[in-house]
Amino acid sequence: MKNFFDLPPVWLAAALGVAWLQKTHFSLGLSFGPVWADLLGGLLVGGGIVLIALAAYEMRRHRTTIIPHRVPDALVTSGIFKRSRNPIYLADSLILTGMILYWDAVLSLPLIPVFVWWIEKHFILGEEKRLRRNFRANFARYEKQTRRWL
């Protein structure tokens, strides 16, 4: 059960829950303004979902795990992974940002950098360490060619 709570979607759900509580109970009348925030929020959430689908497709195609903290069977550098070493975490951040905009949860904006920091420290650094250990030269080359986020 402990491992269930140590997954990025759970942390995303927690951050979304905090943002929703803030907009529902502590909005203080603040707003991003008219329709532009709804549109941008929807585009960010949609873009995040597409990124997750593209990354999951590539990882499945290479028959490696999508679960953090597990040892990967392959180093995926094709598809969306040519643009970002962490497209799923990028997608999670886009989804959080999009929902904060859509909900007009102005006071929840600081959640975004906190979420990115937490994901990087808690998941990405460990994953990169495993990749570096298992795919030495290939990961070193990939790391130089492809940025961590964008």
User: How does pLDDT run along the chain (150 residues), one tens digit per residue?
Assistant: 557 788 999 999 999 999 999 999 999 989 998 789 999 999 999 999 999 999 999 999 999 999 998 999 999 999 999 999 999 999 999 999 999 999 999 999 999 999 999 999 999 999 999 999 999 999 999 999 999 999
Residues 32, 98: contact at Cβ < 8 Å? no
Full-model pTM? 0.95
For the packed helices 136-145 and 125-134, what is the interaxial angle rounded to 10 degrees?
Answer: 130
Q: How many domains does the chain have?
A: 1
pLDDT at 2: 57
The answer to whether residue 102 is domain-embedded is: yes
Domain that holds residue 67: 34-145
Residue 3 in any domain: the answer is: no
Backbone angles phi, psi at 148, to 5 degrees: -65, -45
Residue 80 lies in a domain: yes
The gap between the terminal CA atoms of the chain, to the nearest Å, is: 33
Q: Is the dihedral of CA 135, 88, 71, 126 positive or negative?
A: positive
* Residue 2 located in a structural domain: no
In whole angstroms, give the CA distance from residue 116 to residue 45. 16
The verdict on residue 28 lying in a domain is no
